[in-house]
Amino acid sequence: MGKIDNISLFCSDPPAYYGQSLTKMQSQPREDYERLQLAALRLRFEQLRDAIPMVQKLADAEGVREINRVEDVIPLLFDHTMYKSYPPSFLHNNRFDQMTRWLNKLTTVDLSGFDASDCPTVDDWVVKLYERTPLNVVHTSGTTGLFSFLPRTKSNWDFFMRQYRVSVLQEFGKESPLAEYPLNIHAIYPYFRSGGGHLMLNDLYVKYICGGEERFHAAYPGRLSSNLLLLFSRMRAAAARGELDRFEISPDLMARRDEFVKLQETKDEHVAHFFDELSQKLRGERVFIQAVPAMLYQMAKTGLARGDRGLFARDSIIIAGGGAKGAVLPDNWDDYVKHYLGVDRVTQIFGMGEMITFFPLCEGGHYHVMPGILPFILDPETSKPLARQGRVTGRWAYYDLVSDAHWGGFISGDEVTMNWDAGCSCGRRTPYLEKSIRRYSEISKGGDKITCAATEAAYQEAMDFLIAADAR
């Protein structure tokens, strides 16, 4: 029983398994690390195979009954379209009863008793799922005209934030006491206070970082409407098809759209003023800031040009994530940010909305894989696994072992280069990703077409089951 308990702890809370030590997490010999991951994958498969209807359907169709090697799970990895595979009419016509039945097949949480009849909008549906179930559903920004909805639990969101004490606040090779939550420091956030998608993290910042709403500062104190985001994404998709002139929109939504457009047009100026004002108020204090690299760099470049620098305490927590977002940044962009903000380091992280765990950039300039993520590098055309040794470039895929209420297997749209044999100058022994991460959709003019590793017949049978109107 002790061994199973240890594997359960490894699955649910990898930092706790390693005694809340970043150094121990990243120093384990690869063979020991991979034995743990295989045991954890087997446990998750046993727990979730028949508990998530979509996984059960796909596993039955593929004939996967047990996991003997990590590669056995590859035919069951979901591609990036899985969480937006509902018929678009469900969302566009506000049929949240049907959306609920669709989501019910992707989670262990039983939503059969959830009444969506009083959910006239996306915002209402997401909020009421949060209020009435264990889920805190996250959705993407909807750049393709549809949202992806990920049925993550509140406990998984809490783990995401708790890991900061190890992954962000500790330094490899330096054992230090575990930081006590809440940190009771100010957080500066250059966007909306609340909303769907990644804005859900703000509630966790208030709880774990700030220790109260009075220390959380958002450029826009209100809520970003998911309905408006969906409207904009649909309009972009219609424009791309040359059908914008046939796009219908109600007068009240048009008024809100125009208001939001104006807000976006003045956003850079507003955020700059917001940050300047707050930086003077909190000058010299320890603060928390998380933003995309391009925003941090532009803010620093502008501030340094006018002679401003050293704004906050040196041990402030500055996190850069989300990629360059199309911006071209100098190699030393983070030096500008450090000089401007007056901090010792900027923590750069690699992650994605589907991953509960993220990878901080090491001193050698690499993203080392954290134990809770079982990585794969796939052939970009066939989704067959590439060698788990040496230096390999291909499609990033993984199984997130912490996920306990939705399936953790995912095939991404990212091209990555993995070094399986470690050897990084920072001293960590875990495999790592190089910084040169690109989207296949940006590499290929024809867009990215992910091929599922499952057989075509099995995958289609499972997808037909997923979008059928029946319940579980």
What are the tens digits of pLDDT across the range 31-83?
898 999 999 999 999 999 999 999 999 999 999 999 999 999 999 999 878 99
Q: How far is the C-alpha of 383 from the C-alpha of 398, rounded, in Å? A: 12
Rounded CA separation 365/57 (Å): 41
- In whole angstroms, give the CA distance from residue 185 to residue 279: 14
pLDDT value for 200: 85
Cβ proximity of 68 and 433 under 8 Å: no
Which residue in this structure is represented by tokens 């962000």? 168
Burial of 308 (0-12, 13-18, 19+ CB in 10 A): middle
Alpha helices in 266-322 (DSSP H): 267-281, 293-305
3-state class (DSSP) for residue 446: coil
CA distances 222 to 195, 202, 218, 295, Å, are 8, 12, 9, 21
The residue written with tokens 């998750």 in the block is 44
Nearest to 429 by CA among 177, 175, 172, 178: 172
Give phi and psi for 118, each to the nearest 5.
-105, 30
Answer yes or no: are the C-beta atoms of 368 and 424 closer than 8 Å: yes
**Distance between CA atoms of 223 and 383, rounded to whole angstroms?**
39
Burial of 470 (0-12, 13-18, 19+ CB in 10 A): exposed
In a 10 Å sphere around its CB, with 0-12 CB exposed, 13-18 middle and 19+ buried, how is residue 260 labelled?
middle
**Helix or strand or coil: residue 392?**
strand
Q: How many CA atoms lie within 13 A of 181 on its CB side?
A: 15
Q: Determine the pLDDT at residue 244.
A: 67
Q: How far apart are CA 230 and CA 140, in angstroms?
A: 10
Q: What is the C-alpha separation between 411 and 450, in angstroms, rounded?
A: 8
Query: Would you give the DSSP letter of residue 386?
Result: P
Task: Return d(Cα 459, Cα 119) in angstroms, integer.
Answer: 31
Identify the pLDDT of residue 53: 96
Q: What is the dihedral sign for C-alpha 64, 69, 75, 79? A: positive
β-strand partners of 188 = 217, 289
Contacts of 389 (CB under 8 A, 6+ apart): 420, 421
**pLDDT computed for residue 226 by the predictor:** 87
Within 49-87, where are the H helices? 53-62
| pLDDT for the residue numbered 304 | 95
Q: Is 359 strand, coil or helix?
A: strand
C-alpha closest to that of 210 among 134, 288, 137, 151: 288
CA–CA gap between residue 138 and residue 152 (Å, rounded): 7
274 within 8 A of 220, measured Cβ to Cβ: no
Q: Tokens representing 153?
A: 């639990």
Residues of the chain scoring pLDDT < 70: 1-5, 143-144, 244-245, 247, 250, 252-253, 324-326, 445-455, 459, 469-471
